[in-house]
Structure 1
Amino acid sequence: MQAYVYKSQRKQDSFVYLAVRDDFSVIPDAVKASLAPFQFVLEVALTPDRRLAQADAAQVRQNLTERGFHLQLPPPPLTPVRMPRRND
């Protein structure tokens, strides 16, 4: 399965995978409003043995088959860990 990857020019580290190149009609309007415009970055073959850096390739394939798109957002920021103070 081929996937076409676009990065959001509005939100850093946010990507949309499309099953059909340049078919933005499958993306919900609310998502387009918050992330568009998009810039094409990559065409990739999503084979069963393909690994992706920030997404589960099987989930991406499933979303592309069922919805025509997959949304990849940056992970939430880590909550800082507060270390207890030592009383010396």
Structure 2
Amino acid sequence: MLCAVYKSIRKSQTYLFIAKRDNFEPVPDALLTQFGPPALVSMLNIKADSKLAMTDANTVIQSIEKDGFYLQLPPPPVDYLEEHKKWRKKQLGIFNETD
């Protein structure tokens, strides 16, 4: 499936995939308002076995066929403090087991 990929100038790491270049008709107005003026990034020929960085190709294809667009949001932020606490708890558990 050939599709156009646009990035948001307002929302970092947010991309909009649509079936036809510059045809935003299927995209809800509220979404376009939040997205801001779209900036064309690329034209992609996505196939079921295509490797995409942040999502599954089948998900994109199905969403475009069903809704006319696919919105890719940025990954959730990593809570480094929480990750450190989990790591530290694991390390302390290993340390206590060797006593």
TM-score by length of 1: 0.88
The separation in 1 between residues aligned to 2:66 and 2:75, in whole angstroms, is: 23
Q: Deviations over 1:21-69 (max 9, x none)?
A: 1111111111111111110010111112111001110000000101110
Aligned to 2:23: 23
Aligned to 1:73: 73
The structure with higher relative contact order (CA 8 Å, sep 6+) is 1
Q: Secondary structure at the match of 2:25?
A: helix
Structure with the higher helix share, 1 or 2 = 2
Identity %: 37
Superposed structure 1 runs of 4+ greater than 4 Å apart? none
User: How many aligned residue pairs are there?
Assistant: 86
Unaligned runs of 5+ in 1: none
Unaligned runs of 5+ in 2: 93-99
Aligned to 1:48: 48
Computed over aligned residues only, the root mean square deviation of the Cα atoms, in angstroms, reads: 1.7
The separation in 1 between residues aligned to 2:23 and 2:61, in whole angstroms, is: 16
The separation in 1 between residues aligned to 2:55 and 2:64, in whole angstroms, is: 13
Aligned to 1:58: 58
Bigger Cα Rg: 2
Q: Secondary structure at the match of 1:27?
A: coil
The separation in 2 between residues aligned to 1:29 and 1:14, in whole angstroms, is: 16
